[in-house]
Structure 1
Amino acid sequence: MDFSIAGILALDGLTNGAIYALLALATVLLFAVTRVIFIPQGEFVAFGALTLALLQTGKVPGTVWFLLVLAGLAAIADVVDGVRHRHAPLRVARQLLRTLAIPVVVSAVAIWAAPRGWPLFAQALLTLALVTPFGNLIYRLAYEKLADASVLVLLIVSVGVHFALVGLGLFFFGAEGFRNPSFWDERFSAGALAITGQTIIIFGISVALIVMLYLFFERTLTGKALRATAVNRAGARLMGISSNGAGRLAFTMAAFIGALSGLLIGPTTTVFYDSGFLIGLKGFVAAVFAGLASYPLALVGALGVGLLESFGSFWASSFKEVIVFSAILPVLLWRSLRDPHGEEH
Structure 2
Amino acid sequence: MDFTIASILVVDGITNGAIYALLGLAIVLVFAVTRIIFVPQGEFVAYGALTLALLQTGQVPGTVWLLLCLAAVAAAMELFTTWRQGRGVAAAFKSALRLVALPVSLAFITAWAAPHQFPMGVQAVLTVGLVASFGPLIYRVAFQSLADASTLVLLIVSVGVHFAMTGLALLFFGAEGFRNPSFWDARLALGGLTINGQAIIIAAATIALMVLLWLFFERSVYGKALRATAINRVGARLMGISSHAAGQMTLAMAGLIGALSGLLIGPTTTIFYDSGFLIGLKGFVAAVIGGLASYPAAAVGALFVGIVEAFASFWVSAFKEVVVFTLIIPVLLWRSITSPHSDEDH
What is the match of residue 286 of structure 2? Answer: 286
Structure 1: distance between partners of 2:89 and 2:327: 55
DSSP-derived class of the 2:110 partner: helix
What is the match of residue 16 of structure 1? Answer: 16
Structure 2: distance between partners of 1:82 and 1:249: 20
Matched, 1:206 2:206: yes
* Identical-pair percentage: 66
The 5 A counterparts of 1:1-345 are: 1-343=1-343, 344-345=345-346
Structure 2: distance between partners of 1:5 and 1:154: 44
Instruction: Give the letter for the 1:57 counterpart.
Output: T
DSSP-derived class of the 2:280 partner: helix
DSSP-derived class of the 1:26 partner: helix
Structure 1: distance between partners of 2:217 and 2:47: 27
Unaligned runs of 5+ in 1: none
Question: How far apart are 1:341 and its partner, in Å?
Answer: 2.3
Structure 1: distance between partners of 2:3 and 2:233: 50
Question: How far apart are 1:48 and its partner, in Å?
Answer: 0.1
Structure 1: distance between partners of 2:303 and 2:149: 33
DSSP-derived class of the 1:194 partner: strand
User: Number of residues paired by the alignment?
Assistant: 345
The answer to which of 78-87 and 205-214 deviates more is 78-87
Unaligned runs of 5+ in 2: none
Question: How far apart are 1:100 and its partner, in Å?
Answer: 2.5
Structure 2: distance between partners of 1:286 and 1:124: 26
DSSP-derived class of the 1:132 partner: helix
Instruction: Give the letter for the 2:117 counterpart.
Output: G
Instruction: Give the letter for the 2:116 counterpart.
Output: R
Give a deviation string over 1:258-309, Cα, whole Å, max 9, x none: 0000000000000000000000000000000000000000000000000000
Structure 2: distance between partners of 1:300 and 1:54: 34
The answer to which of 249-258 and 105-114 deviates more is 105-114
DSSP-derived class of the 1:226 partner: helix
Instruction: Give the letter for the 2:217 counterpart.
Output: F
Question: How far apart are 1:78 and its partner, in Å?
Answer: 1.6
Give a deviation string over 1:8-58, Cα, whole Å, max 9, x none: 000000000000000000000000000000011000000000000000011
Give a deviation string over 1:185-219, Cα, whole Å, max 9, x none: 11111112111111111000000000111111111
Instruction: Give the letter for the 1:37 counterpart.
Output: I
Structure 2: distance between partners of 1:120 and 1:257: 18
Structure 2: distance between partners of 1:154 and 1:11: 37
Structure 2: distance between partners of 1:220 and 1:145: 28
Structure 1: distance between partners of 2:304 and 2:160: 29
Instruction: Give the letter for the 1:190 counterpart.
Output: L
* Kept after mapping to 1: 8 A contact 2:131/2:259: yes
* Kept after mapping to 1: 8 A contact 2:83/2:89: no
The answer to which of 83-92 and 322-331 deviates more is 83-92
Give a deviation string over 1:72-118, Cα, whole Å, max 9, x none: 00111022113322222221221122122112211111111111111
Structure 1: distance between partners of 2:8 and 2:290: 27
Instruction: Give the letter for the 1:159 counterpart.
Output: V
Instruction: Give the letter for the 1:226 counterpart.
Output: L
DSSP-derived class of the 1:15 partner: helix
Structure 2: distance between partners of 1:96 and 1:139: 14
Instruction: Give the letter for the 1:82 counterpart.
Output: T
* Kept after mapping to 1: 8 A contact 2:19/2:206: yes
